Structures are given as C-alpha cells and as structure tokens.
Amino acid sequence: VNRRTFLASAAALALGGGAALAGCGSSKTATTASGSGNGPISFLSWDGETTMKPVLDGFRAAHPDIALTATYSPPVAEYIQTLQTRVLSKKAPDVFLIAAENKTNLIGGKAVENLAGKPFMATVPEFNRKTYGSDGGEFGLSIASWGAGVLYNKDLLKKAGTDSVPTTWDEFLTLLQKLKAAGVQGYLESLQGMPTILAAFLGAVNAGTDDTMDAKIFDGSAKFADYWVEPLTQYNRMYAEGLVTSDTVGLKGDQVRDEFAKGNLAMMSTGPWDLPTIRETNPKIDMEMVLIPGASGLAPFLAGAASPGYAISSASENRAAAETFLTYLASPQGVAVWQKVSGAISVTTDVQPKLDAALDPIVSYVRSGNIYLPQIAWKRAEDILNVEAVAQIQQMVQGKTTPQQVAQALDTKLASS
Amino acid sequence: MTRPDRSPDAGGPGSGIRPRALTLPSPAVGAESAATAGVVDQVARPLRRRPGLTRWRDITATQLFLVPIVVVFIVLFVIPLAKTFYWSLTDFTGYSLNPSFVGLKNYRIILADPSMLAGLTFTLLFTFGTTILITVIAIPLAVMLNQRFFARNAVRSVVFFPAIPSMAILGLVWTYILSPLESGVLNSALGHLGIGPLPWLADNTLARLSVIVVAVWAGAGWHAILYLAYLQSIPVEYAEVAKIDGASPVRQFFHITLPLLTPAVVVSQFLLITNGLKVYDLPFTLTGGGPGFATRTITQSIITSGVGQGRYGLASALAVMFTIAVGIFALAQIVISRTVERRIL
C-alpha cells in the first residue's frame, strides 16, 4: 500500500466520518400500535440499577403475573438519545421517562399516552402534573421534585458574626463582604449551567406575574428584556463588586462541592444530591440549606423543577400492564422504597419523605411547587435558549457583556428558533 | 554533499531512497540500454500472449477483492452521507419520520448564527495550533529518541504514554490540574513561586490556550514515535558521509534528516488536521465549550444541535458543510505537501 492509497483512503474516511455524525437514522413510516394487553412490559430507566432494583423487585413481588424487563441509560444526553432512537425505530419501551429535554418532541410527536384522570395521578401535585402537561393532557407521572438553594457552613458563617444566611440580596452581599474581610471564601458556584441564584430570582419575578411571565414571552406579548434585565443586574452585582471572582466560569459542580466539603467555602448553591458526598467527605460539617435571598424587594425563592415523569408509550401493546406498573410506582410502598434509595424529595401526598435534616428549611417549599427553572418553564427551544443563556452569562460575569445584552441575545435566539 | 535519489511517487519509509538500479526501467528511459529493454520485452511478451479471457479473469479476480470494502464504504459512508444531505433540507426532529421540506433554511440559520461561527473559529485555531506545535515538537523529540542513551526504551514509553488514555479522561484529569481556584494543582505549584492564581479555564484566551496545550501534550509523543519509525529507515550512511564532509549536526538535520522525513510529515499532518477538525472530547470535558463559546467546536455544535436540541435537520446541514470543509482541507493538504515533497526530493 503506497502513501497515495493511504491518503486517498484516509480522505474518504474523513469525509464519510463527518457526515456520519448526524446522518444515521431509520426511514420506516410510523404505525401506531395500540393495545390493552397485560403481557410483558419493557422499561427504560433514568435512574441507575442500584436505585431502581429495590423498586422493581417490589413490583415483581406484588405482580408476579407481569414480566418486567428493565434497561438502563444514564441521564441526560445519553438517555435522551437512546430513547429517541428507540421511539424512531418503533422499538420504544412500554414505560420510559419524559423529561424537560424531550417533552416537547414526545408530546408533539404523539409518542406518549395521556395519563390525565388516571387513578395513580391523584396523589401527584398539580405543579408536577402541569410540568409534563399540554393542552389539558398530562403525560408524565412525576413523583418527585428537586429544589436548589444556598447551602451554608454554619461554622464559617460565625466568623462573619452571623449564624444564618440573610433573606435579602443586599444583606447577602454584605455578608460576602464580611466573609471576604475575615479571609473566608464566601460563595462559589459552577457556571457550566443556569445559575441557581438567577433561576430563583426569575422564579420570584414569575410568581409576581401569576406564572404568566414565560407565556407572555413566548406568545410575543413581552420580551426577555422586559423581565430578565433586573434579575441579571442584581445577580451580576456579586461579580461586578468583586465579591465573587469569574473563576466560577471554569469550575465544575464537583469542584465547588469539594471546596465546601473540605471546609474552604462558606456558601454554595446546590440541591439535595450533593449532601451525601459532603457528609461522607466531612462527617462533622454543620450545614443547612435555605432559600435564595430575595432581590429587588421580592421574596426568597428556590430554583428547582419537577423530576422527570414516568410515561407510557402510545405504541405500547401492553398498556394495562404498563398502567399497573405506574400504579405501583405511585403507591405509598413504591414511592417509599424509591425515595429511601434515591434520597429525592418525593411529592406524592400520601408519603412523607425521610431526608437529611439539613434540607428541612426547603422541603415544604419544594413539595408545594414553589420552585422555578427557566428551561423547564420555557414553552419551546428549551435547550437552544439554555445554551445561549449560559454562554451569555459566562461573558457577563467576565464583564464582556451587560445584562441588557444578555436579555437581547435571548430575544434574538428565540426569534430565530 | 549529494541529494539522495528517489522517485517522486514512491511512498513509505525508505521506499523513496532506493538506488535507481533497483527500479524497473520505463519506456521513457528505455534508450539508456537496449539490452535491458530486451529483457523487459521478454518479460512482458508472455502477458500479451495470454488469451483475453484469462486476462479478464485475472482482472476480475483482483477486482473482487475490492467488493467487501466497496460494500462497506457504500453502506457506512455513502448512504449516511446521502441521507444526511436529505435530512439537512428538512426540519427533522428525530421523533417523527414525516419532516417538512425546508429547503436551504438550515444552512441560512447556520451562516447567520454567531455561536456556529465561533465554533468554526476555535476549530480552525485548534487544528492549526496543534498541527504546528506537535510537528515542531515531535520531530526534534524523535531525533532525540533515535539517539543511544541510558533507559532509551523507558523514555520512549513515557513519551508515548499520554496517547494511551482517552482524551475525555485526560480532559477530566486536566480540569483539576488547570482549576482556576488557588487550590488547583497548577495554581498551587505557581503559588509557591509567588505567581497567580491564574484563571486557566475561566478566561477566553487562557482557556483556548489550555485546550491546545493539553492536546499538544497528549499528541506529541504519538507523532514522535511515528517520526521515529521513519527516522529508523534512513540509512546511516548519509549522516556518516555528511559528517566526513564536515557538516554540523544542525546542518545534517536540516539538509538530510528533515527532507527525508517529508513523507512522515505528510502523514502526520494529515492525521493532525483531520483529527483536529473533528475534535470534540477534549474541549468538551475540559471547558464544556466555554467561557461563552470560546472553546466550542463544530463537532460539539453538531452533537448539541442534533441530540441535545432535537434539531437533526440543522445538525445534518452543519455536518454536510463540515464534511465539505474537511474534504477541502484534506485535499489541499495533500496537494500542498506533495508539491513540497517534489521540490525537496
């Protein structure tokens, strides 16, 4: 094989490889299968096998007549792609998870059953049912929510002469100044995603509009610039005033968590998922999670959203068995087992979750749906806008763009998508 | 000092420096020896006498060996390429097989999107940055590794090691090394020297530089071993003759070693350019494409648009444009390198 042959082959591979990134797909025409059989069901899990095995064992013990096959795919991107491929190739599992990232396509593509009015939806709060709803339909059984607030180290806060996080943004910034003067790293966050503090600020604004903020933005009667500039300006104060460095742009969530766990950081924004690791790393740490302080005279709020919901494929031929499975997942027994293993904040009305005591100040807010996350509340182009928002905010905290420019960029992106 | 004789079309290590006496005379140079031409004629005549059917069978049998690769090429490359082009003209979301035809709308969106153009900018910067730096580092490194010294094989292994782990894993590890915090590995070390902390991954310029430097660190050893293989095929007589003629080591390097390494440079740079243009794993794990869109690559845009955002039509359009761009770059690199090769050799 001479070099010419090698180069020609390599050029061909390079050409084909680039296109193959996005080009593979089935081309069969859709045929909607329907059925009410009680036969075996397949389930594509979002949670790992460690979390789901006790739940599935419980279901199999309660319903030995229904064969259940579970496969696992980790969230988020890999799960979304696996499910999308299976839906497109007419091999959708009978039960799978509908999430913020795929709900528009799944509902719009009529790939999921309407669960509205089903008995197992009765204990699910309206907030969770509406999250995966559209035009009066309810397409996901969401049995949990997550909320993210400010997690603080009580011992480090004492160095600034206080024992808790204040409830207003001005006082929070003053606390950061005191911590800085005391030589303590006051606050860090990862800016690889939507900032928790900004999400909470926007949640408070949205609550003040009777939850119409996003509806107005997406029906064209308002713009991002109308609602986002003030929250962005307030949020950016901690960077503009030098209380937090823009190093957060290059930090991952795990790095922030490790700093907190080692006792090097007084406050961070996070949700329940980081607590087990922090406890394991530093069992003696005295910490608590509270609501994000309110800015511009608004009330404190939490970032958060309804967890992905269990959905039944519209192509399922074993719908009765699938509904039996969802009935078990929403039952007190099923929720209790899942909640214990996952440590999530379950929301069904007949089960009180057992959680880390550090979460006590936020649990009731989360369970009642006083949480907000922009990319969940947006009506379309969720990920497109989220990617743009994160990139623009990264530039803003570095002083390269202004809050007005961030909001305008989102308006431009929405208009073009 | 004479330049080694070689055929411009010869390829592979050492193949270009065969003595001319070993090559078959062609009709163009047949006048140099009637006797040699007679031998060639005797060798060739039996072929001419073969019946046409036998010859056709021989050719067919040879061509049949190509069938598997042609089938693989069509199934795995040509068909996906054609389908990609088809999807690029639709609003395919990945969930419905009845997309609408949108013409060139996806191409217009890409060309008007600043984030896509930012991805193109960094992809080109990464490609040319890593290609130049790795080439500049790998060739002298290969020359050094070609010398005799204590624990040479161990040193070669150490140099090659960064090429073994996946780039995604390297990216995650380097995230901690290049952490912008004071507790980051590199910043801790610099702190002892009274420098920093520096925002390695939190500043646009430093983040771009960091991604390129890590890629160079990971790739230089692999390409040095490639050059080493070519170096070992260069007869030592050339260097010995040059040494007797009084050539310094630097002169030997630039006038003997480097010209004879041209085939290796062509192969190495081809691999660097094609891999650089489609890079995804390292920038994604190291910076996530940030700050802003500073280290975003075209491949990341394709994956994000297609999988993350369910815009397979748009992602397909991007893939088509990217494929054409890669093809142009690859062909340009081949043409330029062959021109240079002819001039030097």
Average pLDDT over residues B191-211: 91
- Say if CB A375 and CB A103 are below 8 A apart: no
Average pLDDT over residues B4-9: 37
Residues of chain A contacting B112 with CB distance shorter than 8 Å: 416
Residues of chain A contacting B94 with CB distance shorter than 8 Å: 25, 84, 88, 105
pLDDT grade, residue A314 (50/70/90)?
very high
Average pLDDT over residues B220-226: 94
The answer to whether B267 contacts A391, with C-beta atoms less than 8 Å apart, is no
For residue A353, CA distances in Å to A163, A359, B130, B179 come to 27, 11, 53, 37
Q: How confident is the model over A80-89, as pLDDT tens digits?
A: 889 988 998 8
Does residue B115 surpass a pLDDT of 90?
no
Average pLDDT over residues A130-150: 95
Q: What is the mean pLDDT of chain B?
A: 82
Does residue A27 surpass a pLDDT of 50?
no
- Say if CB B173 and CB B187 are below 8 A apart: no
The answer to whether A88 contacts B94, with C-beta atoms less than 8 Å apart, is yes
Cis status, amide bond into B291, omega within 30 of 0:
yes
pTM value is: 0.77
List the beta strands (DSSP E) in B214-289. none
The answer to whether B203 contacts A398, with C-beta atoms less than 8 Å apart, is yes
Residue A113 burial by Cβ neighbours in a 10 Å radius (0-12, 13-18, 19+): buried
Strands A68-72 and A41-45: parallel
Q: What is the mean pLDDT of chain A?
A: 89
For B84, name the nearest residue in chain A, comparing CA atoms only: A23
Average pLDDT over residues A290-303: 95
- Give how far A334 is from chain B: nearest CA, Å: 31
Higher pLDDT, A251 or A11: A251
How many contacts does A have with B, using Cβ atoms within 8 A?
210
- Give how far A364 is from chain B: nearest CA, Å: 32
**Token digits of residue A405:** 């420019």
Does residue A321 surpass a pLDDT of 90?
yes
Give every CB contact of residue A208 below 8 A, 6+ residues apart in sequence.
A298
pLDDT grade, residue A278 (50/70/90)?
very high
- Say if CB B317 and CB B88 are below 8 A apart: yes
The answer to whether A24 contacts B200, with C-beta atoms less than 8 Å apart, is no
Residues of chain A contacting B315 with CB distance shorter than 8 Å: 21-22
Average pLDDT over residues B308-328: 87
What span, in angstroms and rounded, lies between the C-alpha atoms of B13 and B11? Answer: 7
- Give how far A24 is from chain B: nearest CA, Å: 6
The answer to whether B319 contacts A251, with C-beta atoms less than 8 Å apart, is no
For B274, name the nearest residue in chain A, comparing CA atoms only: A14
Query: Among residues 267-306 of chain B, which lie with CB inside 8 Å of chain A?
Result: 267, 270-271, 274, 277-278, 287-293, 299, 302-304, 306
Does residue A62 surpass a pLDDT of 50?
yes
Instruction: Quote ipTM for the complex.
Output: 0.72
- Give how far B330 is from chain A: nearest CA, Å: 6
Residues of chain B contacting A398 with CB distance shorter than 8 Å: 202-204, 291
Which residue from A2, A25, A416 is facing B11, i.e. has the nearest CB?
A: A2
Which residue from A23, A191, A255 is facing B84, i.e. has the nearest CB?
A: A23
Average pLDDT over residues A264-290: 94
Q: Is B207 on the interface with A (CB under 8 A)?
A: yes
**Token digits of residue A243:** 């209380």
Q: Is B166 on the interface with A (CB under 8 A)?
A: no
Sign of the C-alpha dihedral, residues B147, B153, B156, B158?
A: negative
Backbone phi, psi, residue A98, to 5°: -100, 130
What span, in angstroms and rounded, lies between the C-alpha atoms of A353 and A307? Answer: 15
Average pLDDT over residues A396-410: 95
**Token digits of residue B323:** 């494929």
User: Which of B29-38, B140-149, B312-321 is the least confident region?
Assistant: B29-38
Q: Is A388 on the interface with B (CB under 8 A)?
A: yes
Can you state the angle between helices A224-240 and A196-207, rounded to 10 degrees?
Answer: 140
What span, in angstroms and rounded, lies between the C-alpha atoms of A81 and A25? Answer: 12
What span, in angstroms and rounded, lies between the C-alpha atoms of A143 and A151? Answer: 24
Does residue B33 surpass a pLDDT of 50?
no
Strands A137-138 and A185-188: unpaired
Cis status, amide bond into B70, omega within 30 of 0:
no
Which residue from A2, A21, A394 is facing B291, i.e. has the nearest CB?
A: A394
Does residue A415 surpass a pLDDT of 80?
yes
The single residue listed with the structure tokens 């010995």 is B240
- Say if CB A301 and CB A370 are below 8 A apart: yes
Query: Among residues 222-281 of chain A, which lie with CB inside 8 Å of chain B?
Result: 245-252, 255, 259, 264
Does residue A186 surpass a pLDDT of 90?
yes
Q: How confident is the model over B256-292, as pLDDT tens digits?
A: 888 889 889 989 998 999 899 989 999 999 998 889 8
Give every CB contact of residue B191 below 8 A, 6+ residues apart in sequence.
B182, B197
Average pLDDT over residues B132-136: 96
Per-residue model confidence (pLDDT) at position A20: 45
Percent of chain A at pLDDT above 90?
Answer: 76
Does residue B36 surpass a pLDDT of 70?
no
Does residue A234 surpass a pLDDT of 50?
yes
pLDDT grade, residue B38 (50/70/90)?
very low
Average pLDDT over residues A170-198: 94
Backbone phi, psi, residue B241, to 5°: -60, -45
Per-residue model confidence (pLDDT) at position B309: 77
pLDDT grade, residue A29 (50/70/90)?
very low
Per-residue model confidence (pLDDT) at position B51: 65
What span, in angstroms and rounded, lies between the C-alpha atoms of A315 and A104? Answer: 18
The answer to whether A19 contacts B84, with C-beta atoms less than 8 Å apart, is yes
What span, in angstroms and rounded, lies between the C-alpha atoms of A239 and A398? Answer: 8
Strands A371-372 and A302-306: parallel
Per-residue model confidence (pLDDT) at position A104: 85
Nearest to A331, CA basis, from A133, A114, A74, A63: A63
Does residue B13 surpass a pLDDT of 50?
no
Per-residue model confidence (pLDDT) at position B50: 58
Query: Among residues 180-199 of chain A, which lie with CB inside 8 Å of chain B?
Result: 191-192
User: Which of A58-67, A325-334, B110-119 is the least confident region?
Assistant: B110-119
The answer to whether B278 contacts A20, with C-beta atoms less than 8 Å apart, is no
Does residue A36 surpass a pLDDT of 80?
no
User: Which of A95-109, A250-264, B18-32 is the least confident region?
Assistant: B18-32
Give every CB contact of residue A316 below 8 A, 6+ residues apart in sequence.
A33, A35, A41, A92, A94, A95, A113, A322
Does residue A297 surpass a pLDDT of 80?
yes
- Give how far A15 is from chain B: nearest CA, Å: 5
Higher pLDDT, A360 or A30: A360
Nearest to A140, CA basis, from A304, A312, A305: A312
Which residue from B207, B270, B322 is facing A7, i.e. has the nearest CB?
A: B270
- Give how far B278 is from chain A: nearest CA, Å: 7
3-class SS of residue B35 = helix
Query: Among residues 107-146 of chain A, which lie with CB inside 8 Å of chain B?
Result: 108-109, 111
Nearest to A189, CA basis, from A405, A390, A372: A390
Per-residue model confidence (pLDDT) at position A168: 96
Backbone phi, psi, residue A96, to 5°: -150, -175
Per-residue model confidence (pLDDT) at position B23: 35
Per-residue model confidence (pLDDT) at position A144: 96
Average pLDDT over residues B20-25: 34
Higher pLDDT, A384 or A186: A186
Per-residue model confidence (pLDDT) at position A383: 82
**Token digits of residue A57:** 């064992």
Per-residue model confidence (pLDDT) at position A159: 86
The answer to whether A250 contacts B199, with C-beta atoms less than 8 Å apart, is yes
What span, in angstroms and rounded, lies between the C-alpha atoms of A395 and B291? Answer: 7
Q: Is A24 on the interface with B (CB under 8 A)?
A: yes
For residue B64, CA distances in Å to A19, A365, B78, B281 come to 28, 71, 20, 38
The answer to whether A25 contacts B176, with C-beta atoms less than 8 Å apart, is no
Does residue A283 surpass a pLDDT of 90?
yes
Average pLDDT over residues A286-306: 95
Per-residue model confidence (pLDDT) at position B186: 94
Strand order in the sheet with A309-312: A68-72, A41-45, A95-98, A309-312
Give every CB contact of residue A182 below 8 A, 6+ residues apart in sequence.
A159, A160
3-class SS of residue A372 = strand
The answer to whether A105 contacts B94, with C-beta atoms less than 8 Å apart, is yes
Query: Among residues 30-89 of chain A, which lie with CB inside 8 Å of chain B?
Result: 30, 77, 80-81, 84, 87-88
Does residue B174 surpass a pLDDT of 90?
yes
What span, in angstroms and rounded, lies between the C-alpha atoms of B273 and B270? Answer: 5
Interface test with A, best of B309, B326, B328 (most A CBs within 10 A): B309
User: Which of A380-384, B1-5, B147-151 is the least confident region?
Assistant: B1-5
Q: Is A313 on the interface with B (CB under 8 A)?
A: no
Q: Is B332 on the interface with A (CB under 8 A)?
A: no
